[in-house]
Chain A
Amino acid sequence: MTICRSKEDAAQANRAVRGSCVVQASCAAQMADGDRAADIAPARLAACHITKRFGGVTVLADVSIHLHEREIVSLLGVSGGGKTTLFNVISGLMKPESGQVFLDGEDVTGQAGNISYMLQKDLLLPYNTVLDNVALPLLIRGVKKEAARAEAAAHFQEFGLAGTEHRYPSQLSGGMRQRAALLRTYLFSDRVALLDEPFSALDTLTKAELHRWYLAVMDRIHLSTLFITHDIDEAILLSDRVYILAGRPGKIVAEIPIERERPRDRSFTLSEEFLDYKRRILQAMEKK
């Protein structure tokens, strides 16, 4: 992968419709002068040339990724490969040594409170009812308690959570808890959500059910999601594009668009097309 250095590169990248250069295109568009930037529709989210070190160790080296509206993009990589660090940088919890994060064209590097994220641990607060848990981001934003509850309650049906409003998280199954966690994430920001292995703690059947649920929900709402996973099948099934983060320090070694139309069903996972994607991803991961 080449790194864009000039406006020429940006313009060239602009012509590439899909593929590895789109990242550079949107990054360059963000960084270029005003007139040039106007040519290119900015991505919802763009992380540009992120480098992050801990002590003397470089964890991420010049990582660039982007996310368009309503897109589901997966970040695939081995554990400990810097995926979560990248999320922390994007969500603003950590400042990168170099590089920038843009949300709708606005520089939000190192600013928390713009992009919400969801973890493998649902992190629902055990002492709040499901409704109060879900309404929490609204309360933080300063919405009054009753209004926040009403707004949150309005989405329970859509997210398949009806009837759980006044229960406590410990009374729900793992799958339902993750649904509630996703609703909370969505209520925080209906623009971009970062999901860090949200389904990896669930058993196979619950996971399959949640994948179906997730694709159905994503079809109805205008959310763009960046999805961390180490499960290749999950990445192919859910995403529009897959980034592969590998190596030490972590770099994006491949970007693979999954062309299959959404909504996808389980039969896709058994198709030749699916296996072909899987093969390509495995190859890319081994190459480094």
Chain B
Amino acid sequence: MSNNRQGVFNKVAPACLLAMILLLWQLASSAGWMPRYMLPSPVDVVKAMASDAPLLAQHAKTTLAEGFLGLGCSVLMAFVTAALMDRYLFLQKAVYPLLVVTQTVPTVAIAPLLVLWLGYGIAPKVVLVILTCYFPLTISLLTGFANADEDAVNLMRAMGATRRQIFWHIKLKSSMDQFFSGLRMAVSYAIVGAVISEWLGGLNGLGVYMTRVKKSYAFDKMFAVIFLISAISLILMKLVVLLEKKTMPWKYLKEKDREEQ
């Protein structure tokens, strides 16, 4: 019971703060503290979002497609490389530092190059998403594989399990926890990565829409698209959590089912 109340409180507290911020913002805007064209009020933003809804939906479709394609490729690549790096230590020693270095290169810096090399289509966007998502996913999987209980691995060996069986029965499943925390990060990176690459050239997508409305000083639309991107990221993260619950039922056993004995 008290647990339940705690849960309600946890939701109510941030909602109150959010409401207060919105209220203050609305006040600041309608009281004329800031010029309307510089800081549109929340109501203006909602209106802009509603009026441009079909257009936004169409652009969002492109961005989502790029994000998912990039994310899907990243997940596949991360599984393959992490598995190989876990199997062959020399590969891990060789590749790991390189992976870290690639993460120090800012995405905004390579995005224009990608456009030059790959054109204005979907390809440079997908590649950029891969570049941003692949690393956290690989690292989380690698950590997950390495975190497999050593005693459990030894027990499997004593039972005569092959390397592949150990990987399949123990390492893969015990890495799921880490993998999903990596995936939660990666989905938001994927959308942001896609948007950034669209800024630098493209025909469709939320990033393209963003640059257009910025150039026409339509700040209400600017805010609208920013909120849309946040909302999409939040929804996707929530979806990952749902997927996680589906994939790892053992982690989300109801409290009442535990320690019954």
* Residues in A lying within 8 Å of B, measured CB to CB: 91-93, 112-117, 119, 121, 123, 125-128, 136-137, 139-141, 167-168, 170-173, 175-176, 188
Interface pair A123/B151, CB less than 8 Å apart: yes
Within 8 A of A (CB), among B10-61: none
Interface pair B258/A117, CB less than 8 Å apart: no
| B residues less than 8 Å from A91 (CB atoms) | 158
The reply to whether the CB of B152 lies closer than 8 angstroms to some CB of chain A is yes
Q: Which of A93, A115, A168 contacts B250 (CB under 8 A)? A: A168
User: Per DSSP, are chain A's interface residues mostly helix, strand or loop, or mixed?
Assistant: loop
| B residues less than 8 Å from A113 (CB atoms) | 158-161
Among the interface residues B155, B251, B253, B261, which one has the most CB atoms of the partner chain A within 10 A?
A: B155
Counting from the closest, the 6 A-B pairs by CB-CB distance are A113-B160, A173-B261, A127-B173, A168-B250, A140-B161, A91-B158
Bound: A140/B162 CA distance, A = 8
| A residues less than 8 Å from B159 (CB atoms) | 112-113, 116, 136-137, 140, 188
Interface pair B160/A171, CB less than 8 Å apart: no
Interface pair A171/B154, CB less than 8 Å apart: no
| Shortest distance from the beta carbon of A91 to any chain B beta carbon, whole Å | 5
A170-B151 in contact given A93-B158, A140-B160 (Cβ < 8 Å): no
Interface pair B261/A127, CB less than 8 Å apart: no
Interface pair B250/A127, CB less than 8 Å apart: yes
Interface pair A171/B259, CB less than 8 Å apart: yes
Interface pair B253/A168, CB less than 8 Å apart: yes
- Closest residue of chain A to B257, judged by CB? A171
Within 8 A of A (CB), among B224-261: 248-251, 253, 257-261
Interface pair B158/A176, CB less than 8 Å apart: no
| Shortest distance from the beta carbon of A286 to any chain B beta carbon, whole Å | 32
| Shortest distance from the beta carbon of A93 to any chain B beta carbon, whole Å | 6
Interface pair B152/A93, CB less than 8 Å apart: no
Interface pair A116/B261, CB less than 8 Å apart: no
A170-B258 in contact given A123-B151, A136-B169, A140-B156 (Cβ < 8 Å): yes
Among the interface residues A127, A128, A140, A175, which one has the most CB atoms of the partner chain B within 10 A?
A: A127
| A residues less than 8 Å from B158 (CB atoms) | 91-93, 112-113, 115-117
